[in-house]
Chains A and B, each alone.
Chain A
Amino acid sequence: MKQIALGLLHAIEVLGKRGFVHGDIKFENAFYDQTAKKLMLIDTGGLSKLSKIESRLSDTAFTPDRGSTSAYRIQDDGTSGLEADLYSVGVLLLELSARCEADVSTRDAEIDKIRAVEDLFGKYAKATEGGRYDPGIARNKVWSQLDNHYLKKKNTPLEKAGLRAVAFALDMSNAATHANKISDRASYLAELKKIASIIR
């Protein structure tokens, strides 16, 4: 599981360094070769070049045209860039953690746990206030729910890494201006390394 988690982080780091955003990171789009110990992402349908996103950000918020899956999506009506991939990876890491802990002999418990994580993010990442998405409110709701229902019980390295990924992505999306987000590419890459070091 650690290899998968590190592979995911490495994949979005490589994409990010080249200025690409995958845009649809989820379990179905991540393939792990156990022999080669290598993770590959598939599906280029949501792939975007960051410069293109930046140019769109200059006059309007950009939402991927398609492909992005709701439980893994940072928000529906706002900016999507590097932070969107990091957020998706954060959700995936939490799911991985849930799968790691689940007893394979009790399939229902495993499925319930995964559903709980998916519900949490699908529901609260899209929190609204007066019909309008507010990243700050969403972040607070995500944190309080995690604290109440999930983190107090377990706190594995994968969970810590997943939470850090999600928190960082939400912080970036909460930046005051679009320019702030774009200039944060270096800190995004640095954060990926920190998250990977937690898992290692």
Chain B
Amino acid sequence: MQLYGQPKIYKRFKDDDYWPLGLDPDFAVKGEAKLLRTQEATASFLHEAVKKVLVAPTHFVVSETDAAGARRDFIVEVGDREFRAWAKHRLSLNSDPSGEQTPGYSLEIISVI
């Protein structure tokens, strides 16, 4: 596929798997929203030095479903904290002050680029 004129590899997960995103359950204790590190989201936590030996995704394709069931897909740059900042923002907007996610809301990585 092409993204911003650049050739890219689009990778869907085996068996059309997806990786839910969420806030750290210690949210209320720490007083600051923190993205929970799950296996696929680990690529957004990589140090630059690691990228010299590991080809990491440049973008995640993320599907957001709101409480009413409406779904939107986003292509988000993994970058240096960009993805985490974006995901934390979306999750915080859809959580109560204790960090509890709004019922029915979900944010999931569905593929990588």
Q: Interface on A for B, CB 8 Å cutoff?
A: 10-11, 14-15, 17-18, 20, 22, 31, 39-42, 44-49, 52, 65-66
Contact = CB atoms under 8 A, between A and B. Distances in A.
A40 B39 contact: no
Contacts of B30: none
Contacts, number: 53
Contacts of B76: none
Given A47-B39, A48-B39, A20 B46 contact: yes
A15 B45 CA distance: 12
Contacts of B45: 49
B68 interface: no
Interface in B23-79: 37, 39-40, 42-43, 45-47, 49-50, 52-57
Interface of B: 13-14, 37, 39-40, 42-43, 45-47, 49-50, 52-57, 112
A11 B54 contact: yes
B55 A20 contact: no
Contacts of A52: 37
A47 B53 contact: no
A46 to B, nearest CB: 7
A44 B58 CA distance: 11
A43 to B, nearest CB: 8
B57 to A, nearest CB: 6
A18 B49 CA distance: 8
A168 B13 CA distance: 33
A45 B54 contact: no
B51 to A, nearest CB: 9
B37 A44 contact: no
Given A40-B53, A44-B43, A45-B13, 8 more contacts: A20-B42, A20-B50, A40-B55, A41-B55, A44-B46, A47-B43, A47-B54, A65-B39
B55 A39 contact: no
A39 B46 contact: no
Contacts of B52: 14
Contacts of A10: 53
Given A18-B49, A66-B14, A42 B39 contact: no
Nearest to A23: B39
A46 B13 CA distance: 12
**Which 10 A-B pairs have CB atoms at the shortest separation, nearest pair first?**
A11-B53, A44-B43, A42-B55, A14-B53, A47-B42, A41-B54, A18-B47, A18-B50, A40-B55, A44-B56
A44 B54 contact: yes
A45 B42 CA distance: 9
